[in-house]
Amino acid sequence: MTDSVVTAVRGPVLEVVLDRPKANAIDAATSRELSAVFAAFLDDDDLRVAIFTGAGDRFFSAGWDLKAAAAGEDYEADYGPGGFGGFAELLDRHKPVIGAVNGMAVGGGFEIALAADLVVAADHARFWLPEAGLGIIPDAGAVRLPRMLPPVIANEVLWAGRRLDAAEAQRWGLVNSVVAGADLMEEARALARRAAEAAPLAVAAVMEIGVRTGHLGLAEAFRRLRSGEMARYETMLASEDAQEGPRAFTEGRPPRWSGR
């Protein structure tokens, strides 16, 4: 890794820190590096959860590096297979990513937080999308926010300049919990430990179901669920872990997940 992307492993949890002073902005090269980090995370059977955060306490990420843009980097540059920020477009991910928002999440930084499966935020964090005022749009934000917020609120954030503080983001369901900045990583790590205690194949199945049925009506969603078309769901049903869970419960001991 370069100095811009710092990783650490704590048991089954990968911690990824974006460290690009002063605002943790992301150019194409850094995004490709993050994509490689998250690809390796998905391929490592010993890792179950990732935490993504920014260095310092002011910026989670200011999004696209406008200095790189001014130097000629194209808006549609190659950001890597995971999309901008490394994982936002890995729609078939089978492991959760926790966003630990340590400060301002601006533009693409906000979009990275929106792509996370769980989000904890420092109480001084702020979220906004300035792209429309720069003559462009937040691609991922334009796709995700209308699915997550009431339309009038999404529109106000997307193109009318509305900024959300951490408490408001939590009220709208964009953030799981808000804590003091000094407690952010402790809260994210506690959440990661709880997520890592779940059976990995069960987590993968739930994530697959969300992606494959979230846009469907209930009847069609259940038809798709029972169709045999969802590989991770079918793998979970036939797994050793599906037998281990009930066995551990009846024996009064913690389950020993094998991921098989």
CB 124 within 8 A of CB 103: yes
Q: What is the pLDDT of residue 27?
A: 93
Could you give the 3-state DSSP secondary structure of residue 41?
Answer: helix
Q: How far apart (Å, rounded) are the C-alpha atoms in residues 203 and 259?
A: 11
**Rg (Cα) of the chain, in Å, rounded?**
19
22 preceded by cis ω (within 30°)? yes
φ, ψ of residue 121 to 5 degrees: the values are -135, 140
Range list for CATH 3.90.226.10 in the chain: 5-196
Q: What is the pLDDT of residues 218-254, one digit of tens each?
A: 999 999 999 999 999 999 999 999 999 999 999 999 9
Q: Is the pTM of this model over 0.85?
A: yes
Model confidence pLDDT, tens digit, residues 10-57? 999 999 999 999 999 999 999 999 999 999 999 999 999 999 999 999
Amino acid identity for residue 31 in this structure: S
Residue listed under structure tokens 């926010």: 145
Which SS3 state, helix, strand or coil, does residue 51 take? strand
Assigned token pair, 47 = 């890792």
CA distances from 33 to 37, 42, 49, 157 (A): 6, 15, 19, 29
State the Cα–Cα distance between residues 218 and 9, nearest whole angstrom. Answer: 39
Structure tokens at 143: 């796709």
Between CA 46 and CA 90 the distance in angstroms is: 19
Tens-place pLDDT, residues 84-99: 999 999 988 999 999 9
Classify domain 5-196 by CATH number: 3.90.226.10
* Residues recognised as catalytic: 111, 131
Question: What's the rounded Cα separation, in Å, for the pair 104 and 127?
Answer: 6
